[in-house]
Structure 1
């Protein structure tokens, strides 16, 4: 929102009831100033309006040069009152022009660029409730094209209808965003204006008046100006049954655009913005608007499908302005097709918060928190609240019989609050905790009994990394570096698998990449642990990994570190035994207050982390290369040693080093326990997929992957389902390999999943 609008007197919204403001644009010609009223409405009043979905920036580079008025620009001082406009021709039945409604105006003889937007044509203010109101260039273009010459049109546009300078109001309205878009009669997808500068080149200093005339003529010949008429209910003639005596005038749609135009529509920056995801996925009825053309979404979506199929099938490629012939058409279509495909699945289990965040984390937004808040509304597993306790209480109440009852505490605390003042780390903790404790995995396809109900624990590390990446990796910047983290009040139990046991430690990273002798000595020791037939695969893995490792920067190496958290416990206890001990259900989580494992610190952990001896301090200060069973090659933290295990997590490259404890945790029987050493970087990415979490769960490969996990989750020993990783040889160690339950605090989880690849 422009700071020029800070003094604008917004009509008050009721704080205790769900409400919104609606902008009504009075009819006028294309060249007339935009005269509007802004009024508050309760949703209970069932207001009729069109919600506008658009980008704050320009949709196309050429759109920035389009003038918004004739060569003489009308300007108003911020918040300056204007003379009240007369009744509109539509309401009074009269006629006349709206161009003379602003007597207190000064004129400029040229369209000089704005000082804050040197590359964008200046945007004169619109008039809202008799006050000047400044809006951005792209929104101004949209309002000009949607205005009718004969009828008023009621719109909702966030830049005008929300007081953007009031954080409390913005929090409340953002939490209502899904309600606003689902309650709209239509949602208009504004893809931008046509390129009127092709035949009329303009400069920022002196635009050709022919450009403005071209825009005006296109509007007069187009269909958007008739949208207002199509939204007005019309009384039907007696004897006709059309829904309680009323029917809508049919919206006049434009003709199908040529294929070249479809390619330009795909190039609109609209498809790359974050907030438009829910604006496209939530509404019942969508209209697609480009300049003065208007299309029903259903037809538009079919045209995109046909165009995409033709491209995939090797059809002839249309001319692509501003692109070289070598640029793939699919890359241009990808953002648009991804969003349209998501809308088609809006009623399915694919619309979980973690899947949406992963799919659209690359979309642009000016506020990184919006990568979460902007998707809450269309996530079907995530109730939200603005932080107002009244709203939270109403959302948490449960319908029982014919009355309402108070919720259980867990249901209230599970709501995600929209709050732009909270830190990135606090937001990350809330989202990860919500996903872990309050959402269910969408897949129940596995038939392995002891795996059922454990999928959330298997996927939570990947999910934590996805959310951290979406927030721009800013979590670590907010937290001080400490030698030893304090006990975390909340933890999760993740399920990973043992990728291998370290059998040989090699040189540090500096010698590995800088010393030929060190590198030769390192590879020469492999035949002590692998047969000659196995060495070829190992050499290939090492070659590929070294290409990757040579590009590591200081930040990449810094993540391969000791993590001194004595409260992290790894357990080989099968799922059903751990749940029985902790009194939990398989689908739930564990917290520091009810987990017996997390309170236990062995003497080995005490000496290693609390009062480290010389071995615990370790003379090395950098990551070292290691060799392990299962063709394991990895860079491990300085404190790692032979006999440690490397644990990986599902469908991501997160990996940690853990050390077997010789002292068993009480009441754990013979189950092997492990302590955390630090974070590792493992060669190979066989588990990484380019599909999202829920797409993986719905894919045929999902069964095979979880069947393997099921085998790793087996009780081990003589059980037939137990698997040793490839390359494991008797004599390397007597430790069993397989699945491991890792009970860790969220702070440690954050360190493990920083910059994780998925």
Structure 2
């Protein structure tokens, strides 16, 4: 069987590809990849998952051709496979030609819209264990109980009924099972933030078990689990009542996103920025920040900082060479650290017309003049 080759997709409009997971072909998995557009859009689900390691690839069939995918992609498709009907999905690893930087950048800019327009987002947390099956089964019981009431305030009462006959050690197992899920790599991945935040509805899948994201988001509180800032912020943005009443509905600027999710992980360092652009409401006011994989990482960081500190409209050269790690390390004292770089006389850019404007702007933001080491 020939290896699969991507056909070019238009980069001018908002076209993207969808994947049809075919019924009756579980081993190997068979799919069809086809072009889609907002004007002619069928119902589809968007997959949110962790790519995983590439060292143990698996084979699937797309359009009668062979393609290798990571083990996680294969397992996710296997777990959501429905023997009785075809499923239409958006899966980034397959719907985007990952070897085409121009296409990847253009498609990344559309990801927020793609997840928002999906009928639902499928959050795949990985393979099941005894502990995860145990908590997933009890969350499903809670979900079924909620179907018989219109009052979401009764969730604590319904949960009490679900667990009323459990022994203390069984209740401990529920806590352990949820903690196992919350420590899955999905919660660390930066791309899941916009995938979850843009979802109109979502389900959580682990192995063969599933539960709605709105029920899952209630579980830490019901089990008395205190989450760290990063994990809590992700729970807050899961679709459901908790999202509508959280910080997500009030403050979604880029700085807040970078700060709350500064511990997120990505294979490509610039993705720790790019993945947040589609959910930062203040980004819509500028054309400066776009996912462009052709740019040097230092340029990506400089453009991001110039936007955050409001000197992105000035036509100036890059006057510091920070990495992505430097940006996150200095978020709390960003104006001060950038001012230190601006005042370093070794930079030739100091004679430019824009130099004084940048310094003035940073001082107005409360930055203080100090003599420090060169950050270039």
Whether TM-score is above 0.5 comes out as yes
Q: Tell me the equivalent position of 1:52.
A: 47
Cα distance in 1 for partners of 2:211, 2:353 equals: 53
Partner-residue secondary structure (3-state), 2:295: coil
The corresponding residue for 1:325 is none
Match 1:131 to one of 62, 65, 86:
65
Mapping for residues 69-84 of structure 1, pairs under 5 Å: none
Return the alpha-carbon distance in structure 2 between the equivalents of residues 49 and 427 of structure 1: 33
- Name 1:431's counterpart in structure 2: 304
Partners of 1:286 and 1:492 lie apart in 2 by 49
CA contact (8 A) 2:46 2:89 kept: yes
Query: Do 1:655 and 1:679's aligned partners in 2 also have CA atoms closer than 8 Å?
Result: no
For residue 124 of structure 2, the aligned residue among 161, 185, 190 is: 190
1:483 matches 2:346: yes
Separation in 1, partners of 2:283, 2:208 = 37
Partners of 1:423 and 1:492 lie apart in 2 by 26
Match of 1:373 in 2: 274
SS of the equivalent of 1:437 reads: coil
**CA RMSD, aligned part only?**
3.7
For the pair 1:300 / 2:163, whether they are aligned, the reply is no
Q: Does residue 86 of structure 2 align to residue 140 of structure 1? A: no
One of 362, 368, 373 as aligned partner of 2:263: 362
Counterparts of 1:137 and 1:482, CA distance in 2: 52
Tell me the alpha carbon deviations over residues 214-236 of structure 1, each in whole angstroms, 9 at most, x when there is no partner: x9xxxxxxx9xxxxxxxxxxxxx
Q: State how 1:536-575 maps to structure 2 within 5 Å.
A: none
Alpha-carbon offset, residue 482 of structure 1: 7.9
Question: After superposition, what is the alpha-carbon deviation per residue over 1:493-516, rounded to whole angstroms, capped at 9, x for unaligned?
Answer: 68xxxxxxxxxxxxxxxxxxxxxx
Give the C-alpha shift of residue 484 in structure 1: 4.6
- 1:281 is aligned, of 193, 197, 201, to 197
Question: How far did 1:351 drift?
Answer: 1.1
* CA shift digits 1:575-621 (9 cap, x unpaired): xxxxxxxxxxxxxx69xxxxxxxxxxxxxxxxxxxxxxxxxxxxxxx
Contact 1:274 1:365 in 2 (8 A): yes
Alignment counterpart, residue 236 of structure 2, candidates 319, 327, 341: 341
CA 1:155–1:311: 2 relative to 1, 3 Å: closer
Compute the displacement of 1:471 (Å).
8.8
The residue number in structure 1 matching 2:88 is 154
Distance verdict in 2 for CA 1:278–1:359, change over 3 Å: same
Change (3 A) 1:165 1:489: farther
Q: Does 1:170 find its partner at 2:104? A: yes
Change (3 A) 1:157 1:311: closer
Match of 1:679 among 351, 372, 376: 372
- List aligned pairs for 1:558-707, cutoff 5 A: 656-657=369-370, 678-679=371-372
159 and 191 in structure 1: CA distance in 2 versus 1, 3 angstrom threshold: same
CA drift of 1:42 comes to 1.0
Q: Which secondary structure state, in structure 1, belongs to the residue aligned with residue 219 of structure 2?
A: helix
Whole-angstrom distance in 1 between the partners of 2:215 and 2:225: 18
Alignment partners' CA distance in 2, 1:283 and 1:174? 16
CA drift of 1:301 comes to 0.9
| Structure with a larger share of its residues in helix | 2
Q: Give 1:469's aligned residue.
A: 327
2:178 aligned partner: 262
- Residue of 31, 43, 53 corresponding to 1:36: 31
For the residue of structure 1 that corresponds to 2:218, the secondary structure is helix
After superposition, give the CA deviation of every residue in 1:650-699 in whole Å (9 maximum; x if it has no partner). 6xxx8533xxxxxxxxxxxxxxxxxxxx228xxxxxxxxxxxxxxxxxxx
Distance in 2 (alpha carbons) for counterparts of 1:186 and 1:19: 19
Residue 44 of structure 1: how far off its partner (Å): 1.2
Q: Is the 8 A contact 1:369 1:471 kept in 2?
A: no
Q: Distance in 1 between matches of 2:280 and 2:325?
A: 14
2:283 is matched with 382
Evaluate the alpha carbon distance shift between residue 11 and residue 648 of structure 1 in structure 2; reply closer, same or farther with a 3 A threshold.
Answer: closer
1:125 match: secondary structure: strand
Residues 123 and 203 in structure 2, CA contact (< 8 A), matched pair in contact too:
yes
User: Residues 145 and 472 (structure 1 numbering): CA distance in 2 closer, same or farther, change over 3 Å?
Assistant: farther
In structure 1, the residue corresponding to 2:211 is in which secondary structure? Answer: strand
Report the TM-score, using the length of structure 2 for normalisation: 0.72
SS for the counterpart of 1:679 is coil
Seen in structure 2, the aligned counterparts of structure 1 residues 488 and 192 have a Cα distance that, compared at 3 Å, is farther
1:38 aligned counterpart, secondary structure: strand
Q: Quote the Cα distance in structure 2 between the aligned partners of 1:492 and 1:362.
A: 34
